[in-house]
Structure formats: C-alpha cells, structure tokens
Amino acid sequence: MEEKQKEEGVRCAPNEHPVKESKYQFLTAGAVGGLAASLIRVPTEVVKQRMQTGQFSSAPDAVRLIASREGFKGLYAGYGSFLLRDLPFDAIQFCIYEQLRLRYKVAAKRDLNDPENAIIGAFAGALTGAITTPLDVIKTRLMVQGSANQYKGIFDCVQTIVREEGPPALLKGIGPRVLWIGIGGSIFFGVLESTKRLLAQRRPIPQQDSKKD
C-alpha cells in the first residue's frame, strides 16, 4: 500500500487526481501551442526561406530589406498559410502521439521506456508530415514569392499549382519531409518524456497521515 501511494505521489501533484485526457484535449493543446509559437516562427521562417532561395545573403540584411520593401507585414508573409499548415500539424501530431502512447501503455501494462517513446514520436511525426505536405507546399510558395505576388492567396495558390503543374505538385518534397520530421519527432518526444519523468521524480511526495485524531 505504501509503495503504491509513493508511486501515485510521483505521478500526480499534491491534492491532484489523475486525469484521463481525450483526443480533443490533445488536439486543442497542440493547436493553441502552435498558435502562440507562430508569432516567432513565421518571421524566422520567412527569413530562412528567402535566404534559401538566394534572395538575401544574411539574416540581418533579410530582415532590414524585407521591412523596408514590404513593410513590417512582409515578415509575416504567408502567415495564413503557415497557420493552415502548422495548427493542423501540431494538433494532429500531438493527438496521434498521445493516443498511440496511451494504447501501447495499456497493452503493455507498464510505463514506456525512452526508446519506445522515441519510436512512437518518430511514427507520429512522419505520418503527420506526410498528411500536411500539401499545406507545406502552399505555405512555402506564398512565403518565398515576396513582392512578386505570383499568388493572390491560399486558394489562388492551390488553383495555380494544380492548373500549371498538376495535383502531384502538392506533394513535392514529401520524402525528405517525412524523413526529417520523423527524426525530429523521435528526438522531441523522446526528450519530452525523459524531462517529464525527471521533473516528476523531483516533485515532493505528499505525506499521507496514517492516523487521524
């Protein structure tokens, strides 16, 4: 009994009961986290992709010239398409990972170790990367067009790509994307679970009164 209480004390905070999250909670948590991160990630993504296409030689020059030519909003070029890609990506990836992890844990009747968490994370990342590849293609086209305005918006971008290059063009780069995000998912979720476990072990265990007056 005492060992069981200690185990529960490690997993749950004081005066807290275990909560069984639903897939909708995982979807919401992933989407909200992605929305908050987008405020920083979009400008860095714009600068990175403009440099990759040879438009600028350095990040400071990219920021300065984009802001002077396109205004501050130029640093958020393709913001809508970024959210269209990353909100579903974050939500789906976290949901797939947590659902697979919970089911594996129930089937194994034990906690998962670090390699198992990493493998599940890799699968969740790779699958989500494949699903969201068309959204990534659209986001990239809108971000790198700059002031050329080749595309008028998300729907015009989709129509133009399909009309001029065919539907398969929306899946360009799916192989490297699946591989890269799979590796990233393995590292991210592996480190995430290790960190959660270490923090839980350092959390004070609530004292249980064996006798009440």
Identify whether 6 is part of a domain: no
Identify whether 213 is part of a domain: no
Using CA atoms, how far apart are residues 138 and 161, in angstroms rounded to an integer? 9
Nearest-CA neighbor of 87 among 158, 11, 139, 157? 139
Identify whether 133 is part of a domain: yes
Identify whether 212 is part of a domain: no
pLDDT at residue 18, as a whole number: 42
Using CA atoms, how far apart are residues 141 and 165, in angstroms rounded to an integer? 13
Identify whether 181 is part of a domain: yes
Using CA atoms, how far apart are residues 121 and 110, in angstroms rounded to an integer? 18
**What is this structure's pTM?**
0.68
Identify whether 99 is part of a domain: yes
Identify whether 9 is part of a domain: no
pLDDT in tens, the chain (213 residues): 444 444 444 344 444 444 456 667 767 777 787 778 788 888 888 888 888 778 888 888 888 888 888 888 888 887 887 888 888 888 899 889 999 999 999 998 998 998 999 999 999 999 999 999 999 999 888 878 766 678 888 899 999 999 999 999 999 999 999 999 999 999 999 998 888 888 888 776 665 554 444
Identify whether 211 is part of a domain: no
pLDDT at residue 187, as a whole number: 94
pLDDT at residue 10, as a whole number: 39
How many structural domains is the chain composed of?
1
pLDDT at residue 197, as a whole number: 86
Nearest-CA neighbor of 94 among 141, 37, 56? 37
Query: Where does the chain have alpha helices with state H?
Result: 2-11, 23-52, 59-70, 79-108, 114-131, 133-144, 154-165, 174-202
pLDDT at residue 9, as a whole number: 41
pLDDT at residue 22, as a whole number: 65
pLDDT at residue 147, as a whole number: 62
CATH number at residue 43: 1.50.40.10
Nearest-CA neighbor of 122 among 101, 151, 152? 101
Q: For residue 88, give its domain range.
A: 21-202
